[in-house]
Amino acid sequence: MSTGEDVLFWVLAPLMVLAALGLLFARKAVHAAVCVVFVMISLAVMYIAQDAPFLGVVQIVVYTGAVMMLFLFVLMLVGVDASDSLVETIRGQRWIGVLLGLGLGAVLGGVVAQATFPPAVGLASPDEENPVTLARVLFGDYVFAMEVVGVLLVTAAVAALVLTHRRSLEPRVGQKETADAKVAALPSGGRLTPLPAPGVYARNNAMDTPALDASGRPIPESVSRILRIRGQERSATAILAAEHEVLADHEPTRHRDRRDDDAHPDRVTRTTDEEA
């Protein structure tokens, strides 16, 4: 192992451990995911340094690029603000978990550090590229496992569809269908246009006052149905009469009352300015 690799290891390894601890202690799931991405990219660098360039590239493309991005997608989709517990995986105290983890780390690390390994042979071969070597093993010794992994991937695809794919069960109602339905409902009293808005007067634009149509009649549909049912609709006549009074107060000479008693009781005539 050369000094270059030494430096690489001693720079990356502490950072990786810190990032892994970041996964363990992060509050937000997205931070944890980013920590794991860092660990995986560092692993890819280490693979390349350890005579496994193909694996390093596959680690970045498949593991970081596909798997971790899938994690991030799902996080964004469903769980980005869920930081509390959803399901108890194993019921137990936190300290038992910490102790078990520390214990496991100590046992494993200790056992490995004590072991005397044979000197490294290394895999860098001048005859063959790394992918070719791997291909020989893959299609020679492990062809059965490879085919079975194919089945595994089919299973994964089917499983994902079963659990998440919701087909639309009703015919899709788009704009065309809605418009056609409205036109078809016209003979039975449907309407094509939106409802008219409530009336706007000089001193009042509340929702409970009806608008006036071209001939001066108030339009019932311009006030909300609920207010009509409750009897909370305000009379347009009253509003206009109030306006007349205000105008009469301020300009008595200009205002002349033209109300005709024989006309429709709700009809309101406009006062015209008779003085040119």
Binding status of residue 84 toward other proteins by CB under 8 A: yes
Q: Would you say 55 or 212 has its CB closer to other proteins?
A: 55
Rounded to whole angstroms, how far apart are CA atoms 191 and 129?
A: 75
Q: Is 253 in the site for other proteins (CB under 8 A)?
A: no
Contact by Cβ (8 Å): 217, 199:
no
Position 136 contacts other proteins (CB under 8 A): yes
Report the alpha-carbon distance of residue 29 to residue 190 in Å, rounded.
52
Residues in region 159-178 near other proteins by CB under 8 A = 159-167, 169-170
Nearer to other proteins, 110 or 190 (CB): 110
Containing 197, the helix (H) or strand (E) segment is none
DSSP 8-class letter at 80: T
User: Sign of torsion, CA 78 82 85 89?
Assistant: positive
User: Per CB under 8 A, which region of 148-156, 191-199, 202-210, 243-251 contacts other proteins?
Assistant: 148-156
If one asks whether residue 112 binds other proteins (CB under 8 A), the answer comes out as yes
Nearest distance from C-beta of residue 198 to other proteins, angstroms: 34
Residue 271: name the closest of 234, 216, 217, 220 by CA.
216
Choosing from 7, 11, 15, 149, the residue that interacts with other proteins (CB under 8 A) is: 149
- Binding other proteins by CB under 8 A: which of 8, 54, 204, 243? 54
Under the binding rule (CB under 8 A), the answer on residue 190 touching other proteins is no
Cα 85 to chain centroid distance, Å, stands at 21
